[in-house]
Amino acid sequence: MTKTALITGVAGQDGAYLAHLLLQKGYKVVGGIRRSSNSTHGRLAELGIERDIQIIDFDLSDLPNIWRTISEVQPDEVYNLAAQSFVKTSWAQPLYTADVDAIGVTRMLEAIRTVNPKARFYQASTSEMFGLVQEIPQREVTPFYPRSPYGVAKLYGHWITVNYRESFDMFACSGILFNHESPLRGLDFVTRKISLHLSRVKTGEIECLELGNLEAKRDWGFAGDYVEGMWMMLQQPNPSDYVLATGDANSISYFVEEVGRALDMDIVWDGTGLQQRGIDRKTGKVVVRVNEAYYRPAEVDLLLGDATKAKEKLGWTPKVKVNELAQMMAKADYDRVKSGRVLF
């Protein structure tokens, strides 16, 4: 029998890749999108699946809306991907972030528990919960120490998911995912900012890319690999929580160098802190500068995950390495910039 999946935040990066994967697996996919005055279907259109999924009006801050959605869709699987997902914005909008990323999860769980308790539930948790890391690398049992209102809100979302599983015997899983990127990544996030702006530098559209802290390190993987892990979690005999990560951490400056290499630049560094500059040795031009405006009130210096549990229990392994990811993103953005195509 055809399974039905509900994906909240289907218009986002992960939502689009997950919808694509589930359609390939024969699911009926219903996707929740919050209303906007602009079209938000760009990623679904890019993957050619805009017309293959049923789109519904959905907002995590609206309990009656969630309740009706679960009643009407009667999903077999629910993937809660919707969130205010940009860490920096969470300092500007801490209450909104908490309402959506923390209480929103309880709204989802309450609606499922009351209306359709057999539905399997995936919560999009995050390595940001490790924040000021207490152990290297980070595993499912590593103590949490979030460093942003986003991380704090997501930590609530994680624990309420665990709590509903233990209290009500629900099939609820929390996926603790490390950073995953793609050509469909939002423009605010650092990898996409680098691939887009260095492409513009390359074509002469702008002179230079401005970034914040170049020393932070992240464990970057490819979003297409990570959505497969989400699906695998909901196919297990028992619900549990899993870290998904590559086990390889690199600095922001490394990602700049790799994207530069893919664009036939040779970026080297001089200076430190706010004076640090990236220079393309092939042209002698300054192509990267540091701007304090992109610093955060509290930084997460290093994230490095250990996905042994996911490898052993799910058979999940990430396929794309960070340098391949940088190449993939550089190529996609360079082609977009050259052809003047719409960016999302």
Active site members: 126, 128, 150
Q: Residue 264, class by beta-carbon neighbours within 10 Å (0-12 exposed, 13-18 middle, 19+ buried)?
A: exposed
Residue 342: Cβ within 10 Å count: 9
CA atoms within 13 A on the CB side of 236: 21
Contact pattern from residue 255 through residue 294 relative to ligand GDD, giving x for each residue in contact according to CB under 6 A and a dash for the rest: ---------------------------------------x
Q: Residue 216, interface with ligand GDD (CB under 6 A)? A: yes
Q: Which of 5, 16, 78, 87 binds ligand GDD (CB under 6 A)?
A: 87
What are 266's two structure tokens?
């040779």
* Smallest distance from ligand GDD to CB 284, Å: 24
Q: With the C-alpha atoms ordered 58, 63, 67, 68, is the resulting torsion angle positive or negative?
A: negative
Q: Which of ligand GDD, ligand NAP, none is residue 276 near (CB under 5 to 8 Å by kind)?
A: none
82 binds, among ligand GDD, ligand NAP, none (CB under 5 to 8 A by kind): ligand NAP
Q: Is 24 helix (H, G, I), strand (E, B) or coil?
A: helix
Nearer to ligand GDD (CB atom), residue 238 or residue 275: 275
Judging by DSSP bridges, how do beta strands 285-290 and 209-211 pair with one another? Answer: parallel
Q: How far is the CB of 108 from ligand GDD (least distance, A)?
A: 18
Q: What is the C-alpha separation between 214 and 257, in angstroms, rounded?
A: 11
Minimum CB–partner distance for residue 248 and ligand NAP (Å): 15
| Least distance in angstroms from the C-beta of 253 to ligand NAP | 19
List interacting residues with ligand NAP (CB under 6 A). Answer: 8-9, 11-15, 34, 36, 40, 58-61, 81-85, 100, 124, 126, 177, 179-180, 186
Pull the structure tokens for residue 325.
């990811």
Among 59, 76, 77, 128, binds ligand GDD (CB under 6 A): 128
Nearest to 152 by CA among 99, 196, 230: 99
| Binding flag, residue 147, ligand GDD (CB under 6 A) | no
Residue written as tokens 């990267």? 288
* DSSP letter assigned to residue 209: E
Q: Which amino acid is at 288?
A: V
Query: Least CB distance from residue 178 to ligand GDD, whole Å?
Result: 6
Which DSSP letter does residue 134 get?
Answer: S
Query: How many angstroms separate the CA atoms of 14 and 136, rounded?
Result: 26
Among ligand NAP, ligand GDD, none, the one that 211 touches (CB under a kind-dependent 5 to 8 A) is ligand GDD
What is the CA angle 44-11-7, rounded to 5? 105
- Nearer Cβ to ligand GDD, position 119 or 310? 310
Among 69, 127, 182, 253, binds ligand GDD (CB under 6 A): 127
Contact call for residues 212 and 253 (beta carbons, < 8 A): no
| 311 counts as binding ligand GDD under rule CB under 6 A | no
Please report, as residue ranges, which positions from 172 to 201 form the binding site for ligand GDD (by CB under 6 A): 178-179, 188-190, 193
Residues near ligand GDD (CB under 6 A) = 85, 87, 126-128, 178-179, 188-190, 193, 211-213, 216, 218, 252, 294, 296, 299-300, 303
